[in-house]
Amino acid sequence: MAVAELGVVVLDCPDPRALAGFYAAVLGGTVEADPESADWVTLKPPGGQTLAFQAAPGFVPPKWPSPDHSQQFHLDLDVPDLDAAEKAVLELGATPLDAEDRTRSFRVYADPAGHPFCLCAC
């Protein structure tokens, strides 16, 4: 028997609205921001897990790969065409971290705030 149900995945970042916009462009969906607070923004992608973006003063992005500064977690994003998805995320502001090996079924990038994510062939 489960004790809980996963509600939302939250990413700390310096600019929640900007990072929500990046992921909305990648995943689609609806960005919902509280007009009275710039500290919390949610993204509800179609048919996917809700993501939230929380302002974190003094935010330090994870380093990948680094045994001294663990990334803690990353997002795997399934895509039908790795090359087309790579082009799109780079145009949106992603940074390649480990995308040189074209024989693998995944490539690793950082979002504009530095969180690692993978594009994975589905």
Tell me the DSSP string of 29-93. -EEEE-TT-SSEEEEE-TTS--EEEEE-TT-----SS-SSS-----EEEEES-HHHHHHHHHHHT
Domains and CATH numbers, the chain: 7-58 (3.10.180.10), 60-122 (3.10.180.10)
Of the candidates 104, 20, 103, 95, which has an alpha carbon nearest to the alpha carbon of residue 63?
95
Q: Is the pLDDT of residue 11 over 90?
A: yes
Question: Could you read off the pLDDT of 46-82 as tens digits, one per residue?
Answer: 988 999 999 999 998 888 777 776 667 789 999 999 9
112 and 59 in contact (C-beta within 8 Å)? no
Tokens read off for 88: 């799109």
Of the candidates 81, 93, 92, 91, which has an alpha carbon nearest to the alpha carbon of residue 119?
81
Strand 75-79, strand 51-55: pairing: unpaired
Could you tell me the pTM of the whole model? 0.87
Q: For residues 1 and 56, which has the higher predicted lDDT (pLDDT)? A: 56
At residue 70, the pLDDT reads 64
Question: Could you read off the pLDDT of 25-41 as tens digits, one per residue?
Answer: 999 999 999 888 889 99
